[in-house]
Amino acid sequence: MKTNASLFLILAVFFWLAAGLYLVWSLIAPVETTHPIEWVGVLGIALSGILSALISFFLRVSHRSQGGELPEDREEALIDDGEAEQGFFSPWSWWPIMIAFSAGLMVTGLAIGVWISFIGAAVLIVSVIGWQYEYYRGRFAH
């Protein structure tokens, strides 16, 4: 993970240097318009550098919070060393399908008619509440 963080930091520095070079290049290029700087390219490349730096920061913080070297990084590690709790997943839950359907309905509403998005938002609210409280009633109640 530490190597990945370093690679993303190198990538961020590359993007920032490329943004500076792009800015200089747009200034020395022959001017055909009233705006000598092409800001969309400069900002797009610079924001890619910021995104790479953000990923690098996240990987460094995650690596530090997990106690340093992970079992996946060691040559002598066994398979059992990396065994850990992966999370809890509902085996028979239909709510994620309803959430995906309602999100699709909302996006379809943006393309076709806004009134469909309101129906999708209502279905989304009911689906999220149903998924949250799935284990409070019925067969799998705690």
User: pLDDT of 38-50, one tens digit each?
Assistant: 889 999 999 999 9
User: pLDDT of 54-102, one tens digit each?
Assistant: 999 999 998 888 777 777 777 888 878 777 666 677 777 889 999 999 9
- pTM > 0.85: no
Query: Do residues 62 and 1 lie in contact, with contact meaning Cβ atoms separated by under 8 Å?
Result: yes
Write the Ramachandran bin of 93: left for phi over 0, alpha for psi from -120 to 50, otherwise beta: beta
**What is the chain's Cα-based Rg?**
24
Side chain identity, residue 3: T
